[in-house]
């Protein structure tokens, strides 16, 4: 993989990780357009590059997570479903789903429809707490949000969209569930990245590690910008635009494949 390809993928990862559009889906589609072979090493790169984006959330929200015991408990509780499912299905997902363009396009398109319908019929009903902490979330709601997040094991589903839509359907305010989604990303992605690297690090060459380091740094800075923008955006705007974007992206890519 060239430096230019690494930079492009890093930009895409940082910008899309916390938006309801599926960063993994975007990385798979971008890799297809860039004609990067879907090897096990590259699949691991697509997973590990997310570490930079996760660090951006740690910088912005880590203090919130650490100083509030209830928030820490809620995050740990919501993490359990994806931890179990991810551990059991890691091999299947990496072998059959990661790199599968058809799966990504269907997931993007169907997810786009869901977002548009959700915004049309179930708009956010309550403002978030002024302090921005997910204190209104119960333990049961946290478990249910974690189960919703587990859908994102399918590339193209979007972890952010699954948790936000699921959370609002459970009665959690938009501001609270958006920020909780950021917090939940920390253990979820850290575990996924750590587990994958533990199993595949031996396949990385020095060049692969260099690409990963570059991707880590670039995705970190791009994610910082994206998270700040997204938090400001959700205060006043609908998610429907993301749903339309997902559908258009899927249809456009289908045309390109013909």
Give ∠ CA 258-102-104 in degrees, rounded to 5: 120
Q: Which of 40-44, 45-49, 64-68, 236-240 has the lowest mean pLDDT?
A: 64-68
Quote the CA–CA distance of 136 and 242 in Å, as a whole number: 26
pTM: 0.83
154 torsion bin: left (phi>0), alpha (psi -120 to 50), beta (else)? beta
Three-state DSSP string of the chain? CCHHHHHHHHHHHHHHCCCCCCHHHHHHHHHHHCCCCCCHHHHHHHHHCHHHHHHHHHHHHHHHHHHCHHHHHHHHHHHHHHHHHHHHHHHHHHHHHCCCHHHHHHHHHHHHHHHHHHHHHCCCCCCCCCCCCCCCCCHHHHHHHHHHHHHHHCCCCCHHHHHHHHHHHCCCCHHHHHHHHHHHHHHHHHHHHHHHHHHHHHHCCHHHHHHHHHHHHHHHHHHHHHHHHHHHHHCCCCCHHHHHHHHHHHHHHHHHHC
The band of 131, judged by pLDDT with boundaries at 50, 70 and 90, is: very low
Q: Stretch 84-97: mean pLDDT, rounded? A: 81
The band of 122, judged by pLDDT with boundaries at 50, 70 and 90, is: low
What count of residues does the chain have?
A: 258
The pLDDT, as a whole number, for residue 128 is 43
The pLDDT, as a whole number, for residue 123 is 54
Closest C-alpha among 208, 185, 236, 257 to residue 32 = 257
Q: Which of 68-72, 145-149, 246-250 has the lowest mean pLDDT?
A: 68-72
Tokens of 76: 């740990």
Find the farthest-apart pair of alpha carbons in the chain and give their distance in angstroms, rounded: 53
User: Which domain range does residue 253 map to?
Assistant: 3-257
Quote the CA–CA distance of 86 and 75 in Å, as a whole number: 17
Quote the CA–CA distance of 246 and 113 in Å, as a whole number: 8
pLDDT higher than 50, residue 50: yes
- Radius of gyration for the alpha carbons in the chain, expressed in angstroms and rounded: 17
Q: pLDDT tens for residues 199-220?
A: 777 787 888 888 889 998 999 9
Q: How many structural domains compose the chain?
A: 1
Query: Where is pLDDT greater, at 55 or 175?
Result: 55
Q: Which of 116-125, 191-200, 238-247 has the lowest mean pLDDT?
A: 116-125
pLDDT higher than 50, residue 244: yes
Q: Stretch 45-72: mean pLDDT, rounded? A: 82
Cα separation values, 154 from 87, 96, 193, 223, Å: 14, 10, 16, 22
Closest C-alpha among 190, 158, 193, 153 to residue 45 = 193
Q: Stretch 86-108: mean pLDDT, rounded? A: 83
């Amino acid at each position: 993989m060239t430096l230019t390809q690494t930079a492009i993928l890093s930009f895409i990862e940082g910008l899309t990780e916390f938006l309801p559009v599926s960063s993994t889906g975007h990385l798979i589609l971008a890799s297809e357009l860039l004609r990067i072979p879907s090897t096990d090493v590259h699949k691991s790169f697509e997973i590990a590059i997310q570490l930079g984006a996760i660090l951006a959330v740690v910088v912005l929200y880590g203090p919130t997570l650490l100083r509030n015991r209830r928030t820490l408990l809620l995050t740990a509780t919501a993490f359990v479903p994806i931890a179990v499912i991810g551990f059991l299905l890691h091999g299947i997902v990496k072998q059959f789903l990661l790199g599968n363009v058809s799966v990504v396009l269907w997931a993007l398109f169907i997810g786009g429809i869901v977002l548009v319908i959700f915004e049309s019929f179930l708009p956010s009903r309550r403002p978030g707490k002024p302090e921005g902490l997910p204190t209104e979330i119960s333990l049961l709601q946290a478990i249910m949000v974690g189960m919703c997040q587990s859908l994102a094991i399918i590339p193209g589903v979007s972890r952010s969209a699954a948790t936000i839509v699921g959370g609002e359907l459970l009665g959690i305010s938009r501001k609270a569930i958006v920020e909780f989604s950021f917090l939940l990303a920390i253990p979820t992605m850290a575990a996924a990245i750590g587990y994958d690297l533990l199993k595949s690090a031996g396949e990385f060459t020095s060049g692969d590690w260099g690409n990963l380091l570059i991707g880590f740094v670039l995705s970190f800075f791009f994610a910082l910008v994206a998270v700040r923008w997204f938090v400001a955006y959700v205060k006043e705007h609908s998610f429907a635009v993301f749903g339309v974007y997902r559908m258009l992206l899927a249809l456009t890519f289908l045309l390109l494949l013909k």
